[in-house]
A and B are shown apart, each in its own frame.
Chain A
Amino acid sequence: MVAALTSAERQSAAVILLVVALAGLAMAILGGTGPLGVHGVLVMLFAGALVAVVFAGFYAPEPTEDRPTRYYDDPIKVGIALTMAWAVFGLFMGLWVAAQLAWPSLAFDAAWSGFGRLRPTHTTGVIFGFGGNALIATSFHVVQRTARARLAGQVSPWFVLFGYNLFCLLAVSGYLMGVTQSKEYAEAEWYADIWLVVVWVTYFVLYLRTLARRREPHIYVANWYYLAFILVVAVLHVVNNIAIPVSLAHAKSYTVWAGVQDAMVQWWYGHNAVAFFLTAGFLGMLYYYLPIRAQRPIFSYRLSILSFWGITFFYMWAGSHHLHYTALPHWVQTLGMTFSVMLLVPSWASAGNALLTLNGAWHRVRDDATLRFITVAAVFYGLSTFEGSFMAIRPVNALSHYTDWTVGHVHAGALGWVALITFGSIYTLVPALWQRQRMYSAALVELHFWLALAGVLVYVFAMWNSGIVQGLMWRTYTEEGTLAYSFLDSLVAMYPYYIARAFGGLLFLLGALVGCYNIWMTVRAAPHAAGRAADAPQPGGAAAVAGE
């Protein structure tokens, strides 16, 4: 890690870490024994550990002159390790909350382990921990390869990666202490939010500067998606999190938005977090690792353009479909609904573009579990975007809203699309990065695939059933004109489905553990691939560009 930095860069890394540690000290002093103080200590420990790493390598020999002729892969490798670690953590939390819904005593009567605290720990763990690290790691890989240029910074990729993980740590540990803004997917409090802005702006600048160095005349479509992801998430994050802390010495803050405006801002954020974090970023992954793995050209460049602009434009308007039949004015709901319907075609265009790319490679899909991960992910992407547009239609939403159907829909996307595309990409990426011929065990990839697929199917079918049963029970009236079922009746009816869902989650978690083992063994023991010399940035100079 440190060996690849010049001594000036090592110094600046140490200075940055020192500043972070000082900020942690300030938090610790101001926050005292409150959560802010605990977080201050956490920040100091985090920065301290990294300072130790930097100092340990401080006097190592400097990197050789030819550094720019190699891709910068170390941050990607660490990013992949972090992705898998967060996957195991987040999925385990998901399994735990799923089990609590079936057997509530698994909360063990402690505050930190209650459903209300573990649930955001799960969502943040999987979305930001697992998904976010996967996006950062793969974006660093994709941008270098498709720009044929080394990352435009030596310290900043590490800053982005570790800074981002510090944010995730602050968020998750905060929930366990009861720190929350009570905004879904934006639960982290003001100080963590400010920190994320710093990290995110660095990420954006790094990405743009790397693209600016490219040796290719055109920017490949995967990069459009990654850029949209980075840029829009920055805007969403800032707007939704504008808040006024109770005091600088306190973790609690209050949002500046009020009433139904607050709800609208939150779900404009929440929906676009799904759109630009969980969709656009992962489409970037799809557009790179699918053609690489399938060894096929993308089916249609024109379709890529149509779906990219369709998705970026229409998603922005769709958030209000989360607030149907609420105090939000009817006309805003209409707009959210209709834009969600119009969004369907661009979404399906991406899924279709991916599946048609496989024409001429279906035999590989049959034989190669890694490519199958990516293929099935594209299918789930198509499925859940259709479901989403459908659920956005007001009368449909009247049945589905507040039920487990929503949770089933989320996980068709989260497990079927986000997690499967990530695993497929990682299985493509790991041998390439560590210069192995292939993954340690193809059979284990196969096993992971079937565990994951079985897990998603069990989960999603259980939640479809329970959601629709719930929705119908809540709207069934007796002849006398009163509700036929109490809420408790509907809970009792959910019991078998909650057990089934937890079982599906267990399969999914087991698959991820198999994946971790396989990746570990690939790094340790898989045979080296000879001659990957071609995998290097194009030498600098105008000649390369002019050669277009």
Chain B
Amino acid sequence: MSETGERDPVSGRRTTGHEWNGITELDTPVPRGVLMFLIVTHVFAVLWWVLMPAWPLGTSYTQGLLGIDQRATVERELVAATARRADWMARIETAGFDAIRADAALMDVVRSTGARLFGDNCAACHGVDGTGRANYPDLTDADWQWGGGPEAIAETMRVGVNAPHPESRIAQMPAFGRDGMLDRSAVRSVAAYVYALGNPGYSTADTIDTIEAGREVFLTTCAACHGEDGTGEPAIGAPNLTDDYWLYGGDLQSIVTSVHGGRQGHMPTWDERLTDAQIRLLALYVHDLGIAEP
């Protein structure tokens, strides 16, 4: 066949003698380099089959001379990785918070590992640096709804807030307006009162009547949770309403919205997602964030 084609002037090869709409093919043999390379890849493959698990044999398979199996490998590596961390993990898990905080080297571990754990688990809600955003609390300030010591933080993390955990912290701010416990004007006046608590300048001759009416409502309706002076009750998560820290916004309209529709923030429980050591480590990390902040 190869002799039937004409000779290509560029390569000096003959064509195969067929032509399709102007296309011809040269009868060039497969270059030696290609065959060599083909053999090399096949030798590589065969070697790999001999060394590794490779071919099925009905219900089993060839195990390979090296006796490697991915499941065994990963189990071994997990054990080794745990062993590497065991030392400091054990101290985080068992030592008292104060003892850990006094140990500068261990606190370095808390800061580096904590930053990564926080980034993977908490940052989506509380921000990469823990400063929070609308509806998600700032964890770096001195203002704590549930207490800011490492123990309290660890407990908040363990049980969550309004979370499915049986011991979950419950923070139920009722929807006074929507559920008809207070009428419109009562909602407005109590909001004005709360607003004036933190903004004394708001109380003028024009607004004083509303504020006074609001004070009545507050004492009868709100004080049970937020305290007579409005400074809050950490045990039930009722926040201090007299400072300038607001989770849901401290302008008059946001306060009206809080009173009208209620608020039930949701903080997940980490009981099953994180180990005890991780929770304690994160509690120390979050606590430390607040202190590091001037």
Q: What residues on A are CB-neighbors of B18 within 8 Å?
A: 216-218, 220
Q: Are A480 and B116 in contact (CB under 8 A)?
A: no
| Known contacts A216-B18, A306-B30, A488-B123; A482/B23 CB under 8 A | no
| Known contacts A220-B20, A334-B48, A334-B52; A298/B62 CB under 8 A | no
Q: What residues on B are CB-neighbors of A487 within 8 Å?
A: 119-120
Q: Are B115 and A298 in contact (CB under 8 A)?
A: no
Q: Are B23 and A339 in contact (CB under 8 A)?
A: no
Complex-state Cα separation, A303 to B42, whole angstroms: 18
Q: Are B109 and A338 in contact (CB under 8 A)?
A: no
Total B residues in contact with A, Cβ cutoff 8 Å: 55
The A contact surface, by secondary structure, is helix
* A344 to B: closest C-beta gap in Å: 6
* B199 to A: closest C-beta gap in Å: 33
Contact of A330 among B22, B26, B70 (CB under 8 A): B70
> Most chain-B Cβ atoms within 10 A of its Cβ — which of A217, A339, A488?
A488
Q: Are A359 and B26 in contact (CB under 8 A)?
A: no
Please tell me if B245 contacts chain A, counting CB pairs below 8 Å: no
Q: Are B44 and A341 in contact (CB under 8 A)?
A: yes
Q: Are B26 and A301 in contact (CB under 8 A)?
A: yes
Q: Kindly report which residue of chain B lies nearest to residue A326, judged by CB atoms.
A: B70
| Known contacts A301-B27, A488-B119; A342/B20 CB under 8 A | no
User: Which A321-347 residues have a C-beta within 8 angstroms of B?
Assistant: 325, 329-331, 333-335, 337-339, 341-342, 344-345
* A340 to B: closest C-beta gap in Å: 10
Complex-state Cα separation, A330 to B62, whole angstroms: 11
Complex-state Cα separation, A220 to B25, whole angstroms: 10
Please tell me if B257 contacts chain A, counting CB pairs below 8 Å: no
Q: Are A297 and B26 in contact (CB under 8 A)?
A: yes
Contact of A338 among B27, B49, B84 (CB under 8 A): B49
Please tell me if B59 contacts chain A, counting CB pairs below 8 Å: no
Q: What residues on A are CB-neighbors of B28 within 8 Å?
A: 299-303
Q: Are A338 and B48 in contact (CB under 8 A)?
A: yes
Q: What residues on B are CB-neighbors of A338 within 8 Å?
A: 44-45, 48-49, 54
Q: Are A482 and B113 in contact (CB under 8 A)?
A: yes
Please tell me if A423 contacts chain B, counting CB pairs below 8 Å: no
Complex-state Cα separation, A174 to B233, whole angstroms: 52
Q: What residues on B are CB-neighbors of A349 within 8 Å?
A: 30, 34
Q: What residues on A are CB-neighbors of B120 within 8 Å?
A: 486-488
Contact of B30 among A302, A481, A485 (CB under 8 A): A302
Complex-state Cα separation, A348 to B33, whole angstroms: 12
Mark interface residues in B71-98 (1 if CB within 8 Å of A CB, else 0): 1000000000100110010000000000
Q: Kindly report which residue of chain A lies nearest to residue B5, judged by CB atoms.
A: A297
Q: Kindly report which residue of chain B lies nearest to residue A483, judged by CB atoms.
A: B116
Q: Kindly report which residue of chain A lies nearest to residue B114, judged by CB atoms.
A: A482
Interface size class of A (residues with CB under 8 A): 35 or more
Please tell me if A304 contacts chain B, counting CB pairs below 8 Å: yes
Please tell me if B204 contacts chain A, counting CB pairs below 8 Å: no
Complex-state Cα separation, A298 to B81, whole angstroms: 57
Complex-state Cα separation, A56 to B8, whole angstroms: 53
Q: What residues on B are CB-neighbors of A486 within 8 Å?
A: 115-120, 123
Please tell me if B41 contacts chain A, counting CB pairs below 8 Å: yes
Please tell me if B56 contacts chain A, counting CB pairs below 8 Å: yes
Please tell me if A117 contacts chain B, counting CB pairs below 8 Å: no
Complex-state Cα separation, A488 to B54, whole angstroms: 38
Contact of A339 among B27, B45, B70, B123 (CB under 8 A): B45
* B111 to A: closest C-beta gap in Å: 11
Q: Kindly report which residue of chain B lies nearest to residue A485, judged by CB atoms.
A: B116
Contact of B24 among A298, A303, A478 (CB under 8 A): A298
* A341 to B: closest C-beta gap in Å: 5
Complex-state Cα separation, A218 to B15, whole angstroms: 14
User: Which A356-383 residues have a C-beta within 8 angstroms of B?
Assistant: 359-360
Q: Are A300 and B30 in contact (CB under 8 A)?
A: yes
Please tell me if A292 contacts chain B, counting CB pairs below 8 Å: yes
* A285 to B: closest C-beta gap in Å: 13
Q: Are B44 and A300 in contact (CB under 8 A)?
A: no
Q: Are A335 and B21 in contact (CB under 8 A)?
A: no
Q: Are A480 and B20 in contact (CB under 8 A)?
A: no
Q: What residues on A are CB-neighbors of B49 within 8 Å?
A: 334, 338
Please tell me if B220 contacts chain A, counting CB pairs below 8 Å: no
User: Which B41-65 residues have a C-beta within 8 angstroms of A?
Assistant: 41-42, 44-45, 48-49, 52-56, 61-62, 64
Please tell me if A416 contacts chain B, counting CB pairs below 8 Å: no
Complex-state Cα separation, A335 to B62, whole angstroms: 12
* B176 to A: closest C-beta gap in Å: 30
Q: Are B48 and A478 in contact (CB under 8 A)?
A: no
Q: What residues on A are CB-neighbors of B16 within 8 Å?
A: 301
Q: What residues on B are CB-neighbors of A296 within 8 Å?
A: 10
| Known contacts A359-B10, A360-B11, A486-B123; A345/B37 CB under 8 A | yes
Contact of B26 among A218, A298, A325, A341 (CB under 8 A): A298
Q: What residues on A are CB-neighbors of B69 within 8 Å?
A: 330
Complex-state Cα separation, A18 to B69, whole angstroms: 59
Q: Kindly report which residue of chain B lies nearest to residue A304, judged by CB atoms.
A: B25
Please tell me if A352 contacts chain B, counting CB pairs below 8 Å: yes
Mark interface residues in A469-485 (1 if CB within 8 Å of B CB, else 0): 00000000010111111
| Known contacts A300-B25, A478-B112; A335/B54 CB under 8 A | yes
Complex-state Cα separation, A339 to B54, whole angstroms: 11
> Most chain-B Cβ atoms within 10 A of its Cβ — which of A342, A352, A482?
A482
Please tell me if A128 contacts chain B, counting CB pairs below 8 Å: no
Please tell me if A119 contacts chain B, counting CB pairs below 8 Å: no
> Most chain-B Cβ atoms within 10 A of its Cβ — which of A334, A349, A486?
A334
> Can you list 21 A-B pairs, Cβ within 8 angstroms, ordered by A?
A220-B20, A292-B22, A297-B24, A298-B23, A300-B25, A300-B29, A330-B53, A330-B69, A331-B52, A338-B45, A338-B54, A339-B45, A342-B45, A345-B34, A352-B34, A480-B85, A480-B113, A482-B113, A485-B119, A486-B118, A488-B124
Beyond A220-B23, A337-B48: 16 further Cβ-contacts under 8 Å?
A: A145-B20, A297-B24, A298-B23, A303-B28, A338-B54, A344-B41, A345-B34, A349-B34, A352-B34, A480-B109, A480-B113, A481-B85, A486-B115, A488-B119, A488-B124, A489-B119
- On A, residues with C-beta under 8 Å from B are 145-146, 148, 216-218, 220-221, 288, 291-292, 296-304, 306, 325, 329-331, 333-335, 337-339, 341-342, 344-345, 348-349, 352, 359-360, 478, 480-489
Q: Which 3 A-B pairs have the closest CB atoms?
A: A486-B119, A360-B10, A481-B84
- On B, residues with C-beta under 8 Å from A are 8, 10-11, 15-16, 18, 20-31, 34, 37-38, 41-42, 44-45, 48-49, 52-56, 61-62, 64, 68-71, 81, 84-85, 88, 109, 112-113, 115-120, 123-124, 128
